[in-house]
Amino acid sequence: MMRRFVADLHVHTLLSPCAEIEMTPNNIVWHAVQHEVDIVAITDHNACDNVAAALEAAKATTVTILPGMEVESKEEVHLIVLFEKMQQLKAWEQFVQQHMSGRLNDAERFGAQFIVDADDNFVAEKTEMLLASLTVGIAEITAQVKQLGGICIASHVDRATYSIISQLGFIPPDIELDAVEVSRNMSVEQASQRIPTIGRFPIITASDAHVMDDFIYGPKTVFYIEQPTLGEIRQALLAQNLRKVVV
């Protein structure tokens, strides 16, 4: 039986250097419960160290956490990658680490990168610079995500920076995208008019939250699916078996 699930598939924790200290896994889950967000994807920049804490924090709640990451390709394009299980995400993390820039983070300039546990206790500060492009391109990234059984979404395609449109001017036909994301900056209708090429892809909206107010008040996507799983979301994006997406 189909149910309505409210999802935010693009949320940063305090591991992302541009995110505020309030964006802890436990705090995100608590606010998701309070504001009836059913599905939350944790998508930090080029890292996933806080995903396990979010999964643990959500265990006693109705919130489903999807393991994810927001990666930056060598073309400086941001892509959301989502997986069903931590095992898949850990395999993806190995791929990402092989293609990191090798630079260290400047916490004073870019912000600290904190790893915490499910109770928001400090665990470590990540030293690698996460706000940097990988050494691999979009085509290889999307192919690797597909091989691992994940979903790949082009981040904030309407934005003037770090989007596939701003960087390339178009979406190459050989890129294996499952959807595109429109940011809070404009409506899906406006984005579809201004960027006609995105019309051939399923479209979602998400908060891209770096502060709690953005998570609370930012855009979400509604999925009509049977269960809050990545497999069901994939069917909804493809409009299969009566599943559907509403933005």
162-211: pLDDT as tens digits: 999 999 999 998 899 999 999 999 999 999 999 999 999 999 999 999 99
Coil, helix or strand at residue 31: helix
Number of compact structural domains in the chain: 1
Whole-angstrom Cα distance, residue 30 to residue 54?
Answer: 10
Q: Helix 138-147 crosses helix 86-98 at what angle (to 10 degrees)? A: 150
Four-residue CA torsion sign, 174, 180, 183, 189? positive
Domain with residue 46: its CATH number is 3.20.20.140
Q: pLDDT tens for residues 76-131?
A: 999 999 999 999 999 999 999 999 999 999 999 999 999 999 999 999 999 999 99
Start-end of H helices in the chain = 25-34, 51-57, 86-98, 107-110, 138-147, 164-168, 188-194, 212-217, 230-237
Q: Domain range spanning residue 51?
A: 3-246
Comparing CA positions, the residue from 207, 162, 214 lying closest to residue 182 is 207
Q: How many CB atoms lie within 10 A of CB 106?
A: 11
